Amino acid sequence: MARILMLLAMLVTGTASSQLPEFSQQYRQRLGGAIDALEEVLADFYRDADAFGMTSAEAIALQKASDDPFIRARGDSMLNAEIRLSRLKQQQAELQTAGSIRRLVIFAQGFDPQLAQATADDYEPAVPVTGEGIASAGAGAIAGLFIMWFLVGAARITKRRVLRRPSRP
């Protein structure tokens, strides 16, 4: 019975972990789209600032100094958009130059939560036919095996302790 459970655990964890490369790939596609959208929004803002003889930093400072709470909030939004765009471009550059396994590490270390949630909402599982997918599935299967070994071992130790206890009269 324990071997069957171990095999099932390996299948489940291997299948689940095999989806990491596919999720990362779908995230990278969304990353490019998010960068394009932010660049478009910021380009409009930069054009407007330039039309009034301001740099983007000056325009944001003007917005943040406004008495109008809506205008102040828009200043914060534009500043956050610039920061996010910079962060996403940096991640995209790192992902483009990284090898397949390193891309998973880069994704795990610095994914954009908003973008990852959007990816998860539309995620479509795929069969891992790449080396990266197969390696990920294998790592997950091995992790599942080790988890089951640990659980089975703990159950056996607990069972032995229970059977060794002297019964009380």
Radius of gyration of the chain (CA): 26
* pLDDT (average), residues 50-54: 96
pLDDT at 110 over 70: yes
Better-predicted residue by pLDDT, 20 or 43? 43
- Is 1 among the domain residues? no
- Is 29 among the domain residues? yes
**Overall size of the chain counted in residues:** 169
- Is 2 among the domain residues? no
- Is 84 among the domain residues? yes
Number of domains in the chain: 1
- Is 68 among the domain residues? yes
pLDDT band at residue 167, thresholds of 50, 70 and 90? low
Angle between helices 69-97 and 2-51 (to 10 degrees): 120
pLDDT for the residue numbered 165: 66
Average pLDDT along the chain:
86
- Is 30 among the domain residues? yes
> Pick from 76, 81, 80: which is nearest to 39 by CA?
81
* pLDDT (average), residues 38-62: 96
> Pick from 134, 84, 138, 140: which is nearest to 113 by CA?
84
pLDDT band at residue 53, thresholds of 50, 70 and 90? very high
Domain coverage including residue 46: 8-164
- Is 60 among the domain residues? yes
- Is 26 among the domain residues? yes
